[in-house]
Amino acid sequence: MDTTDYEVNQFFDINECVPVREGYRFVGWCTSPSASDASLIKNTGNSDWIVDWAKDTYNRLQIDSYDIQLYAKWAKEDPCAKGHTPQETLTQATAESDGRIVTKCSVCGKTLSETVIKKASDICLSDTSYTYNGKEKTPQLVVKDSEGKQLNLNTDYTVTYAKDRKNVGCYDVTITFAGNYNGTVNRTFTIEPKQVNLSKVKAGRKKITVKWKKQAVQTTGYEIQYGTSSGFEGAKTVTVSKNKTKGKTISKLKAKKKYYVRIRAYKTVKVKERSVKIYSSWSKVRKIKVK
């Protein structure tokens, strides 16, 4: 910019000449094109700075020029000098991955804060298996994040239980996340048939006859297991597919051998379109020597 215009003995204050640039604040005039702080003219009201100008222009051999060239010094204006404009962005956590809340200034883009939302990776039912007793089952649900902090029902998630949770079957508990969390997660629990016990075990020639009290309720049939090992390694299994049956003779056994026998009930139910057998726990083991 053409800056100083003077006639002999007639100066004007160059600082009265204030240029304007959007987004910048005018700092002052400089003698050097780099507009360094050192070259900033401090006493614009008198002619002292001419010496500096002469020094700065010496290398460019303008010492004898009557035109004085000055350079505007600018400072970038801080749009957030009076404070930032916070804007929050939420990335919800899921059961598998952490989320975060990032607060940035919507004007200058500066990150003002960042909070990690730990994933809700610890989802447990108080019970995953029950024995049928005709009563509705509602296991308690505990949802915690990966650091063990408990999530809040209705704020962070809601729970839906499958309907009619009385009979033998597999039941879904569905967790639907909300708020800072996203996604749905299923947990299942099972109601098993009541246990059946062997009421009589009788030895015969190379055979045994077992009897039990029939279980008509929530039972499709029975499974009898027998073998010569008390731990039932290599044991054989016989399925009795009617719940009305109360006894069974197992033959073709080895004479004079000791056998171990146990029984359990099962019910065939549909789980996601598939037929699945749900078993009771095993009865007490009975021991008998075959004749």
Residues at the interface with Zn ion (CB under 5 A): 80, 84, 105, 107-108
d(CA 279, CA 267): 7
Rounded to a whole number of angstroms, the minimum distance from the CB of residue 91 to Zn ion is 21
Rounded to a whole number of angstroms, the minimum distance from the CB of residue 79 to Zn ion is 7
Rounded to a whole number of angstroms, the minimum distance from the CB of residue 103 to Zn ion is 11
Question: Amino acid identity of 229?
Answer: S
Is 225 buried (19+), middle (13-18) or exposed (0-12) by CB count in 10 A? middle
Rounded to a whole number of angstroms, the minimum distance from the CB of residue 78 to Zn ion is 8
Query: Would you put residue 272 in left (φ > 0), alpha (ψ -120 to 50) or beta?
Result: left
The answer to whether residues 49 and 43 touch, using CB atoms and an 8 Å cutoff, is yes
Number of Cβ within a 10 Å radius of residue 242: 11
Rounded to a whole number of angstroms, the minimum distance from the CB of residue 101 to Zn ion is 18
- 214 CB-near residues (< 8 Å, 6+ apart): 243, 244, 245, 246
Please identify, using beta-carbon distances, which residue of 45 and 86 lies nearer to Zn ion.
Answer: 86
d(CA 202, CA 200): 6
Please identify, using beta-carbon distances, which residue of 84 and 100 lies nearer to Zn ion.
Answer: 84
Please identify, using beta-carbon distances, which residue of 13 and 78 lies nearer to Zn ion.
Answer: 78
Please identify, using beta-carbon distances, which residue of 63 and 108 lies nearer to Zn ion.
Answer: 108
Rounded to a whole number of angstroms, the minimum distance from the CB of residue 75 to Zn ion is 17
**Which residues is 270 bridged to in the sheet?**
275
- 169 CB-near residues (< 8 Å, 6+ apart): 190, 191, 267, 269, 271, 278
Please identify, using beta-carbon distances, which residue of 105 and 271 lies nearer to Zn ion.
Answer: 105
Rounded to a whole number of angstroms, the minimum distance from the CB of residue 88 to Zn ion is 14
Please identify, using beta-carbon distances, which residue of 105 and 185 lies nearer to Zn ion.
Answer: 105
Number of Cβ within a 10 Å radius of residue 257: 11
Please identify, using beta-carbon distances, which residue of 85 and 239 lies nearer to Zn ion.
Answer: 85
